[in-house]
Amino acid sequence: MNLAGKVAVVTGGSRGIGRAICKRLAQSGAKVVINYVSRPEAAQETKAQVEALGAECVVLKFDVANTAEVQDAFKQITAECGRIDILVCNAGITRDGLLAMMKEEDWDQVMAVNLKGAFNCIKAGCRPMMKQRWGRIIIITSVVGFAGNAGQANYSAAKAGLVMLTKCLARELGPEIRVNAIAPGPVLWPERDLDQELKAEIIGKTALKRSGSPDDIAGAALFLATGAPYVTGQVITVDGGRSL
């Protein structure tokens, strides 16, 4: 399916997985709206890469955890673009630490961005989709939403919440709107600062014996956006076999 004429909104689209998804959707012809909150230079770099692919691109700064900012942003998107066809809820943060020593604000911030942020964006974004009777919502969760991870109780709980959000919304918004999720394993890219020993450990635990890349996740996102008309309420694990 070609995405010409479609409008895709990608939260947290300035780098990493978000950037790769923006580029992959642009290659299929979509007009891309890149959301960012704290890295304007990275967002503009992503915009330049998207436009180099021949696609139209808009950059919008808003905090997905702020309900008013999200509502205003989505009103602006529909006013300027006329429609919203694809929404990728990718924005997320980590505030790692053992629960016994975790600060309350670290719990609250992760829940606000990772879980409430998706709620805010989907609530605002699904309305134009319902009116046009077509839409694709893709939520980026994580394998830790199934298995958990020591030191990431807040992050794991938020990602588990996204799994159930996916399934509930698939029932609520069908049959016109497909709602699915992607659960990446550890994904590495050049700007991600991990020591070599940890990288080797991550690679060693995969069946494919390589790390995941943002492009691996973007490929799954493109499939859900274009090639999965009978798939909804599902979580696709993209982890190189790590969770086997």
CA dist 23 and 221 (Å) reads 11
* Tokens found for residue 223: 């499939």
Reported as a single tens digit per residue, the pLDDT across 19-32 is: 999 999 999 999 99
Mean pLDDT of 169-187: 96
Alpha-carbon dihedral sign for residues 9, 223, 239, 125? positive
At residue 172, does pLDDT exceed 70? Answer: yes
**For position 79, what pLDDT does the model report?**
96
Active site residues: 155
pLDDT tens for 130-154 read 999 999 999 999 999 999 899 999 9
**pLDDT tens digits for 89-104?**
999 999 999 999 999 9
3-state SS of 129-182 is HHHHCCEEEEEECCCHHHHCCCCEHHHHHHHHHHHHHHHHHHHHHCCCEEEEEE
Give me the percent of the chain exceeding a pLDDT of 70: 97
Given a cut of 70, whether residue 38 has pLDDT beyond it is yes
Q: Looking at residue 195, what is its pLDDT?
A: 67
Query: Are residues 34 and 22 in contact, defined by beta-carbon separation less than 8 angstroms?
Result: yes
Q: Predicted confidence band at 227 (pLDDT cuts at 50, 70, 90)? A: confident
pTM: 0.95
